[in-house]
Amino acid sequence: MVEEAIKKIKEKEAACAKALEEAKEKSIKRIKEAQEKAGELLKETEVKAREEGDRLVKKEGETANKEAQEIKKKSLKEREKIKKAARKRMKKAASFIAREIVK
């Protein structure tokens, strides 16, 4: 009877050891899978971040280009105004000089 009890205890210990080993293997496998998924997510996130960064740079470049074009248009208009004003003054100056010479 004692031998039988010892045998059952050893069988239970062996079953527990086997269950513990299986649990360890499962946890190691799950950890490995989680690490692989985390790596994949990290790569995907990096790609998305790079794409978003490129998109933002392109958008800002387009905005800067539009602003530069607007500034160029305004400066050309201002230049024309200045030219017209200068021509008027030149006509007045030429007329004044001609009157002064004729006097």
Model confidence over 59-78: pLDDT tens digits? 999 999 999 999 999 999 99
Q: Please state the rounded mean pLDDT for residues 40-64.
A: 97
Tokens encoding 83:
């030219």
Q: pLDDT tier at 103 (50, 70, 90 boundaries)?
A: low
CA distance 7 to 13: 10
Q: Please state the rounded mean pLDDT for residues 28-55.
A: 97
Q: Please state the rounded mean pLDDT for residues 19-34.
A: 96
CA distance 35 to 81: 68
CA distance 54 to 38: 24
CA distance 75 to 78: 5
pTM: 0.52
